[in-house]
Amino acid sequence: MHLLQRHGTTPAARLAELLEVSERTVLRDVEALSAAGVPVFAQRGRGGGCGLVEGYRTDVSGLTVGEAQALFLWGTRDTTAELGLGPELGNALAKLAATAPTDAMQQADALASVLVVDRRRWFAAAEEVPVLPVLRDAATRARRVRLRYAASDGQPPAVRTVDPYGLVENAGRWYLLAAHRGQRRTYRVSRVLEATVLDEPARRPADLDLAHEWEQSRRALEVGDAVTLEVAVDAAQVELFHRLASFQVVAGTTPERLPEVAGDPRPRVRLTMRARRQAVGLLLTFGGEAELLAPADLRDELVARAGAALAVHA
């Protein structure tokens, strides 16, 4: 009934495909609905199909235009597809659409036609996460899971059994929060090569707060190797410097403009970056157009790496 209200007269073959049943089942269901008093019909031949008498609708849901727009925007998100719930979301929205006011649905469709959601970071390819539905199943059913995980340092993949806490999507990247041998860990899902759900209950803290766990993990990652720089940048390159640095600064911070020094017209900037190596890479990008003023030990590291690069490429 929801499908017919939304799409009008529809071939039985198409209904069978959408409902994952046979055409015979669709026709039997149409007969059953008709016997129950629903004005539904099945018309054979070219241009035929199953339909409802014109003007017939079930009770509407009462959704406002804003509510319908907010709800149906979920249909534009890749998140549900990656979690393996794309078809389920589509079916749920189809059922709701059938009972929503016509004006609300028209406005929801209008918003969807002028909005694109792209969760990827700039200059980054979309990550492949084929095991995400398996991890979702393990987390929601509170079952332990065996992972074959590729480390970031190039070492051979390791096998470990973990107690999943939950999943986090951050700027297009998925992370699994879990405990391994009682120690809390964060795993990047794109590095999980295989995942097997075990028939063993996961051990989780009784007071687990996934949002708090993620905040703690994120803070530890961002400040573990963080470094605060003071840099003098050529005036013509300040805008580009800010733009490139914004991808690597610690969350919640931005490059800060410092007072100029007498005799040196270059703008000065203070910023906190997530990792020393990222800081060195950013500064090497600008060559002589950016000078690191502090900290001194990072300046020494910058000189050493620049010298090594010169020795290889000269």
Q: What is the mean pLDDT of residues 10-34?
A: 91
One-letter amino acid for residue 234 of the chain: D
Q: Cβ contacts of residue 224 below 8 Å, gap of 6+?
A: none
The predicted structure's pLDDT at residue 112: 80
SS3 109: helix
What's the N-to-C CA distance of the chain in angstroms?
73
Residue type, position 88, single letter: E
- pLDDT digits 0-9 by tens, 81-103: 888 888 888 887 877 777 777 78
- Dump pLDDT digits (tens) for 210-255: 999 998 888 777 666 789 999 999 999 999 998 888 878 877 778 8
Distance (Å, whole) CA 292 – CA 299: 6
Chain segment 187-206, per-residue pLDDT in tens: 999 999 999 999 999 999 99
Output the pLDDT for position 108.
Answer: 84
Contact, 225 vs 276, CB < 8 A? yes
In sequence order, the 6+-apart residues with CB closer than 8 A to the CB of 229 are 269, 270, 271, 272, 273, 279, 283, 292, 294, 295, 298
Helix (H) or strand (E) holding 170: strand 158-170
Q: How far is CA 300 from the centre of its chain?
A: 39
Higher pLDDT, 241 or 153: 241
User: Where do we find the tokens 């097997």?
Assistant: 196
pLDDT at 60 (0 to 100): 45
Task: Give just the sign of the alpha carbon dihedral 65, 67, 72, 78.
Answer: positive
**Tally of CB atoms within 10 A around 177:** 21
**Structural domains of the chain sorted by starting position, each given as residue range(s) with its CATH number in brackets:** 2-113 (no CATH), 132-208 (2.30.30), 227-313 (3.30.70)
Report the predicted TM-score, pTM, of the whole model to 2 decimal places: 0.64
Percent of the chain with pLDDT over 90: 47
What average pLDDT does the chain have?
Answer: 87
Q: Assign residue 63 a region: left if phi > 0, alpha if psi is -120 to 50, beta otherwise?
A: beta
Q: What is the residue-wise DSSP string for 292-306?
A: EEE-HHHHHHHHHHH
Closest to 135 (Cα-Cα) out of 97, 104, 165: 165
